[in-house]
Amino acid sequence: MCVTQFIGVVKQNLSVKKAIKLHGSDADTAIQDELQRVHAKKTWTPKHRLDLTHEKRKAIIRSSMFLREKYFASGPYEKLKARIGAGGDQQDRQLYDDLSSPTVATPCVMVVAAIAAHEGRSVITIDIGGAYLNATMPTGVKVHMKLDKQLAVILVAMLPEYAKFVDGRGQITTLLNKCLYGCIGAALQWYKDMKGTLLGDKFVENPYDMCVFNKLEDTGRQCTATIHVDDLKVTSVNEKMLEAMADLLRKAYKEIKVHKGKLHDYLG
């Protein structure tokens, strides 16, 4: 029987300065890992600020880096995670037709867990690292974002090629190619990307919840996946279907973590 725990843990966002003070080298490592991930996924293209028109310079949005102490649902401390986000509140909302993005409803999560228990299905949970960074910005939308002096110093130390883009304020201006966290429509673009990946593998969207997908084998055995942003729960009586799902996501998104067993932490 699969047991999914829902135990609330208070999460606190830490500034870069505070995280370094509290966690030292662990904070440095988390920050560098996040910047390296963003760079590797070609999330942005650095630009010379003075090459932009006056109107584009006025529209540059801010960025911010925060760190979070992550805990297992059962309570113990897991790790420190850094994330850089965009100041989406400074974007022009009139450029977007749709801003909302679905996530699986909690009752549906419970129903899928109940079906898994009743049918004796195996369960895996999958976490996709840097999920939004796999989704491209909406067509026709150009967003410029600045990295503050503190982040610019760290980035240049890691990747010296950015040095020539540091402006007189010590900042770096970028053009966003991917949907950085915080951007308007980022969650929706990511959902569309994930949905396309699943539909391309013959999954079918559930008519009652657009974040539940099912796939049937010729033998009638079913694989069910629920999506909550970058966290998936996948169930099937056929272990090979679970392995195939993990392989599909690994091929599409590279950076995934697959959790197996009878006890799973899902949605906190």
Q: What is the pLDDT of residues 169-203, one digit of tens each?
A: 999 999 999 999 988 888 999 999 999 999 999 99
| Residues 163, 24: Cα–Cα separation, whole Å | 25
Cβ neighbours of residue 108 closer than 8 Å, sequence gap 6 or more:
206, 208, 209, 211, 212, 226
First vs last Cα of the chain: how many Å apart?
19
Average pLDDT over residues 201-227: 94
* Lowest mean pLDDT across 12-26, 71-85, 134-148, 181-195: 71-85
Between the CA of residue 212 and those of 3, 102, 206, what are the distances in Å?
19, 11, 5
Residue 248 clears pLDDT 90, i.e. is over it: yes
Cβ neighbours of residue 18 closer than 8 Å, sequence gap 6 or more:
none
The strand pairing partners of 227, in sequence order, are 232
What integer pLDDT is reported at residue 218 of this predicted model? 79
- Average pLDDT value over all residues in the chain: 89
| Residues 259, 227: Cα–Cα separation, whole Å | 15
What integer pLDDT is reported at residue 220 of this predicted model? 81
In the structure, what pLDDT confidence band is assigned to residue 5 with cuts at 50, 70 and 90? Answer: very low
Nearest to 226 by CA among 70, 133, 107, 117: 107
